[in-house]
Amino acid sequence: MSKKLKLKIITPEKLILEEMVDQVSLPTTQGEITVLPSHIPLITSLTSGDIVAVANGEFIPMAVVGGFLEVKTDPPARAGEDGVTTVAVLADFAEHISDLSEEKIAEAKAKAEELKKKMIENKDEVDFEHFEAELERSLTRIKIADKWKMKKYRNV
C-alpha cells in the first residue's frame, strides 16, 4: 500500500473536505507548493488560488481564498511504521469546483461589478477591508472555475 496524506480543509463555516490523498498542491504566499507523504513540518499562509488534491489518480480541485496551512507528521502507531502526514488547511473561504455552477459564477461577476461601482461612488462610506475580501472571493471563484471548466476532476 502506498503512503497517503490526510487532508483536511476547514473554513469558519464548516469542514469542506477530509480525505486520504496521494498529494496536494496549494497556493502559498511564497509560491505554489506540492505536499507529498513524509513532508517536513511546515506552517505558512495561503493566498487565493486553487488547491488541487490527487486521490487514486483523480483531481479534486478547490477554490481557496486566504488562510493558513499546517503540515505535520504524527508519530507512528507501532514501531517500524511511518507516521501519517496531515495537511490541515484553515481557509477564510474554500469551495469545491463542482459547487461553482454557471449561476454562481454569474452571481460572483455581478457582485464584483457592484462592489467596484459602490467603491467608486461612495469612497467615504466603503469598508475597504470588506470590499477587498468580497472582491477577492468573487474574482477567485471566476478564475478557478474558468481554469477547471474543460478539465476532468472528481466531484466531492
The enclosing domain of 47 has a CATH number of: 2.60.15.10
Cα 9 to Cα 51: distance, rounded to the nearest angstrom:
10
Of 148, 57, 137, the closest CA to residue 97 belongs to 148
User: Is the domain of 16 the same as that of 74?
Assistant: yes
Between strands 5-10 and 85-96, the pairing is parallel
Q: How confident is the model at residue 154 (pLDDT cuts 50, 70, 90)?
A: low
User: Is the domain of 92 the same as that of 47?
Assistant: yes
Between strands 58-73 and 49-55, the pairing is antiparallel
Cα 27 to Cα 101: distance, rounded to the nearest angstrom:
23
Classify residue 155: in a domain, yes or no: no
Phi, psi for 142 (deg, rounded to 5): -65, -50
- pTM of the predicted model as reported, rounded to 2 decimal places: 0.77
Classify residue 130: in a domain, yes or no: yes
User: Is the domain of 62 the same as that of 77?
Assistant: yes
User: Is the domain of 76 the same as that of 131?
Assistant: no
Q: What is the pLDDT of residues 66-83, one digit of tens each?
A: 999 999 988 776 766 677
Cα 66 to Cα 48: distance, rounded to the nearest angstrom:
6
Q: What is the pLDDT of residues 91-134, one digit of tens each?
A: 999 988 877 767 777 777 777 777 777 767 766 665 667 667 77
User: Is the domain of 115 the same as that of 73?
Assistant: no
pLDDT for the residue numbered 70: 97
Classify residue 44: in a domain, yes or no: yes
Residue-number span of the structural domain to which 80 is assigned: 5-99
